[in-house]
Structure 1
Amino acid sequence: MQAAQIPMHVSPWPTLLKFDHQVPILNWTYPFTPYEPPMPDPFSIYKQIASKPRRRALYLHVPFCDTICSFCPFTRGPFQGTDELDLYVQALLREIEIKHRHPTIHSTPVDCIFFGGGTPSVLRAEHFYQLGEALHRSFDLSRLKEFTIECEVKSVTLEKLKAFEQIGVNRVSFGVQTFNSLYRELFTMTATVDQIRRVADWVNERFPLTGVDLIYGMAGQTLDDFVTDIDLIKELGTRTIDFYPLNNCSSQLRLHQAFAKHGLKPLSANTKLSYRMFLNEYMRAQGYVPHNGHSFTRNIAPADHPRVVVQRNGATFLYHDLFNGYAEDFIDGYGASAASFFGSQLVYNVKSRKQYMDRLLGGEERAWFHAYNGVKVAGKGIVAFPYRGVLEKANIDWNNVDPETRAAFEESVVQGLAADRGTSYEITETGWLMYVNYMYALMPRQDQRRYTKAVIRYLSDGRPIEEMAFFPTRSKRASIPIRVGATELR
């Protein structure tokens, strides 16, 4: 089957349901890997970084987990004892040491640091002290605003939290995903609710910024199930709550097989969307407001303040804001499968943990990454805009934006998905409600085709396609095509 764009139209009428199809959700980074082969001398990439960043983040990937959750699409796996953890930390320290030789890496101030996974909290306290010392020694942290470590509650101890505090962490996040005992079993999550609540108390007491994740839209989930999860997650008292719809395409096939074994039918796209609409109003009614595509924080606006779509001040997740930011927001990644974005230069570390460690600790300096130069990134901030909710005009190199992206964005403003505020654009509730569709619509056709290929690859294994349900407009003839594919996605 030929891979084309996903067929999609926008209704010309003022309605929340602007798109007539729901684009399947994937985990992806933008811009995509170039079609051209990687550079023959990858180390030269650090001499070619062309500009200074507007903002900069460090990302350290720890791809180890005690248990492998069936919903998770990220690079991770079980570990073989403490020796493997020791070697991996030594490889991270070695990568920091080698890259630190380049002025473009060590001299540019860092705005935020993020330890992701996998499960960073499986590391020992001494590992965090080692990594923290290396970060403070190797980088300019004079303007550091946020230092986040992701956790899994089974592996959190008071000793590790003390280490977090000592190295400068000010934000801790952890995943709950659901309190429902059946879904926790199907997700293969083994932490207890008591452990979740204990860790929430610990981190809220010690850190000014805390966050927690919840998944919704599982096969068979009722609205009552969802409300129960929302109420219980709010009781944890974290500053932010991230609500992720279940990613049917990227979650493991064994999860969908487990759903089917228990007679749980996948939810339609209409039902998932109705849950998202309910979530928005339910959280607002209890003093929360969105601060990006999927996350809510406590509302800091006065009671008589006009309703905002996305709150851009207060407790935001700065790392995600940079990751989904502009071409001049740099991400410097460390660890197996980590990605780095230096404007038009992209770097992707090898996915294999063994290969990553062997190349860094093997005695000879061999590249543990692939590098690409001259990538077109001017449109990154526009494509990511629906997730962030605000697009500062001055941060876009408009003359170099792909004409298809620019035309699609201009049409989206006409259709009420964004509003022109003079120096910036702001997303409307219509755009925020279906921000995944909106991001897809803003990609050039070439990138839409790559997205569609990935969807087809995942669905070919038997994952459900209910994401593609149809939302009727008043008249299909009157609907406006944003990217109409020549081939129907089956």
Structure 2
Amino acid sequence: MINFLPGKTLMKFDRQLPFYNWLYPMKGQELDTVSHHDFHTGVRTDGVRSRALYFHIPFCDTICTFCTLNRGLGSSGDEQIETYVQALLKEIALKGKYAEVTSVPIRAIFFGGGTPTTLTAGQITRIGRAIHDNFDLSALEEFTFEAEVKSVTEEKCAAMRDIGVNKARFGLQSFDPLYREMFNITATIEQEHEAAALFARYFDYTSFDMIYGMHGQTFEQFSRDIEYATSMGTATMELYPISNVVTQAPLHRNYAARGLEPLSFIDKMAQSIYLNQYLRASGFQQHNGHGFLRLPDGARPGPHFINRDYVNLYNTHTWSHHDDELIGLGNSAISQVANHTVMNDDNRATYVKNLLDSNDVKINLSIGDGIPYERGIILYLPYFGWLDKSRIAWEHIPSEITDKLGTLVQEGMLEEDAQEYRITELGWVWYVNMMYYLSPASDQKVLDEFTALKRRTRGLTDGDDRMLPLLQVGAR
């Protein structure tokens, strides 16, 4: 349980959540396994504002030790990847038959994994053609493709651009040789720079992910990482504090072998505050909870703490309002539709077999208590940093949540006027805990239980998450 701490203090909560990404709602769910057809023939489109597509490509040349996503080893040209592509094409065509799924224009597309650039240029072209043939892309604004720089080629970039990709994103994670070795990152820094330059020739935006707060990381090491990151020249970058409870045991064995101790959560919070100041002084400004936008030369951060000149549109369908929906394709891909959360078969072998043999997909279906009208308040506001009040159906919002909004304004974590709520710098420091705080008690309980379960996982080590002084004044 995490408690809110009112008053004139930086420590607005007595603990920090050890992760920053989850589905909502989590309460009142009934888990069932049904067929793809049974669910999608019943999807309703009334009240849907926009939709995004997610495509999961579960193959990687090498497995990073911090990653627990659904993936396995595979390289461009492998027969297993071609077989998976054939199954994925069948799922695209299958979903394309349902007017309930295809009638709402697609606003954003995201290829994730795994490593989507393990696909060949020909496979990228075939999948892209199928997307264009089966979905209404008249409203498409953003098409993102994740990459691992060793598997990037000019031919693949040309194929990506030809199917409509306008944003490339790759995992850099750290420039520090020590942590790159522990993460099992096998690309070279030279390859990272070459890929960034290649992407700049083909796409409107290039971004990369980095992690900080690793065991034993000093501020000197962190400063070097930030400085090198700014020199990459990309328009945006995403920097995350590492979530140790959802990493893999081999990473923690690497920590132990080198005698590296976990940072406390106060240390990691201090790194986040330092990161904010460092990047703002370097000509960047936050555009969401962990993303930073490079400002034009000579420009200063705008009047609001979070910049609004740029947004990851795909994330507006994952950290979303109740009427922005997500359709997932590929094994283990997630869909969020109205009060339903759907996960495709997480077993790649049975996902492929069922599609190739039976033209169907098994799914796990979770049903919420009702339409999550409050999702925009709980997820969108803390993460994107502002909320247009007209986007919320306030008659459906429990007084418990509106009262908490008032408390956050009173405590200086949010600002409010007649049109919107806005996060402050203090609020941004705690944006993840703010999502927890705004959630109903039943959802908080699920998150508490998940945290406790993960912290019992053998082999994982994490720092102290307490935010208050550990000893009373004068204690020995």
Please give the TM-score of this superposition, normalised by the length of structure 2. Answer: 0.93
Within the candidate set 149, 153, 161, 1:153 is matched to: 149
CA contact (8 A) 2:332 2:345 kept: yes
Q: 1:337 to 1:221 in 2, by over 3 A?
A: same
| 1:357 maps to 2:366 | no
Q: Secondary structure at the match of 2:364?
A: strand
| 1:31 maps to 2:25 | yes
Paired with 1:26 and 1:454, the residues of 2 have a C-alpha distance of 13
| 1:333 maps to 2:328 | yes
CA contact (8 A) 1:170 1:208 kept: yes
* 2:172 corresponds to: 176
* 1:288 corresponds to: 284
Shift of 1:79: 3.0
What are the equivalent positions in structure 2 for 1:66-215 lying under 5 Å apart? Answer: 66-79=61-74, 82-215=78-211
* 1:457 corresponds to: 453
- CA deviation digits over 1:201-228, x for unaligned, max 9? 1111221111011110011111110111
Runs of 4+ in 1 over 6 A off after TM superposition: none
Shift of 1:86: 0.7
Shift of 1:250: 0.2
196-205 or 389-398: bigger deviation: 389-398
What are the equivalent positions in structure 2 for 1:462-481 lying under 5 Å apart? Answer: 462-471=459-468
Q: 1:111 to 1:289 in 2, by over 3 A?
A: same
What are the equivalent positions in structure 2 for 1:321-400 lying under 5 Å apart? Answer: 321-362=316-357, 364-373=358-367, 375-376=369-370, 377-384=372-379, 385-400=381-396
Shift of 1:400: 2.5
301-310 or 322-331: bigger deviation: 301-310
* 1:57 corresponds to: 52
Q: Secondary structure at the match of 1:23?
A: coil
Which has the bigger relative contact order, CA under 8 A and spacing at least 6? 1
CA contact (8 A) 1:392 1:423 kept: yes
Paired with 2:82 and 2:72, the residues of 1 have a C-alpha distance of 16
Shift of 1:358: 1.2
Shift of 1:456: 1.3
Paired with 1:292 and 1:301, the residues of 2 have a C-alpha distance of 21
Q: Secondary structure at the match of 2:31?
A: coil
CA contact (8 A) 1:54 1:329 kept: yes
| 1:264 maps to 2:235 | no
Paired with 1:274 and 1:62, the residues of 2 have a C-alpha distance of 36
Q: 1:92 to 1:375 in 2, by over 3 A?
A: farther
Q: 1:452 to 1:330 in 2, by over 3 A?
A: same
CA contact (8 A) 1:22 1:467 kept: no
380-389 or 393-402: bigger deviation: 393-402
Q: 1:26 to 1:18 in 2, by over 3 A?
A: closer
Shift of 1:177: 0.2
What are the equivalent positions in structure 2 for 1:414-433 lying under 5 Å apart? Answer: 414-433=410-429
Paired with 1:153 and 1:211, the residues of 2 have a C-alpha distance of 12
Paired with 1:467 and 1:397, the residues of 2 have a C-alpha distance of 39
Shift of 1:153: 0.4
Q: 1:202 to 1:41 in 2, by over 3 A?
A: closer
Q: Secondary structure at the match of 2:85?
A: helix
Paired with 2:434 and 2:13, the residues of 1 have a C-alpha distance of 9
Shift of 1:49: 2.7
Q: Secondary structure at the match of 1:309?
A: coil
Q: Secondary structure at the match of 1:8?
A: coil
What are the equivalent positions in structure 2 for 1:289-304 lying under 5 Å apart? Answer: 289-299=285-295, 303=299
CA contact (8 A) 1:291 1:311 kept: yes
Paired with 2:79 and 2:252, the residues of 1 have a C-alpha distance of 34
- CA deviation digits over 1:423-480, x for unaligned, max 9? 211111111111111111111111111111111111112423425122359x99xxxx
| 1:255 maps to 2:242 | no
Within the candidate set 19, 30, 40, 1:46 is matched to: 40
Paired with 1:41 and 1:191, the residues of 2 have a C-alpha distance of 41
Query: Any stretches of 5+ residues in structure 2 without a counterpart?
Result: none
Q: 1:237 to 1:406 in 2, by over 3 A?
A: same
Paired with 2:279 and 2:100, the residues of 1 have a C-alpha distance of 43
- Residue 24 of structure 1 aligns to which amino acid in structure 2? P
- Residue 460 of structure 2 aligns to which amino acid in structure 1? R
Shift of 1:399: 2.6
Paired with 2:279 and 2:233, the residues of 1 have a C-alpha distance of 14
CA contact (8 A) 1:288 1:299 kept: yes
Q: 1:255 to 1:447 in 2, by over 3 A?
A: same
- Residue 38 of structure 1 aligns to which amino acid in structure 2? D
Paired with 1:388 and 1:305, the residues of 2 have a C-alpha distance of 16
- CA deviation digits over 1:28-87, x for unaligned, max 9? 222237532327565333233332421211110111111110111321111387111011
Paired with 1:245 and 1:93, the residues of 2 have a C-alpha distance of 36
Q: 1:145 to 1:437 in 2, by over 3 A?
A: same
Q: 1:116 to 1:375 in 2, by over 3 A?
A: farther
- Residue 62 of structure 1 aligns to which amino acid in structure 2? I
* 2:14 corresponds to: 20
Paired with 1:24 and 1:306, the residues of 2 have a C-alpha distance of 30
Q: Secondary structure at the match of 1:111?
A: strand
The aligned length equals 467
Q: Secondary structure at the match of 2:73?
A: coil
- Residue 383 of structure 2 aligns to which amino acid in structure 1? Y
Q: 1:259 to 1:395 in 2, by over 3 A?
A: same
* 1:435 corresponds to: 431
344-353 or 77-86: bigger deviation: 77-86
CA contact (8 A) 1:404 1:443 kept: no
Q: Secondary structure at the match of 2:244?
A: coil
Paired with 1:39 and 1:202, the residues of 2 have a C-alpha distance of 43
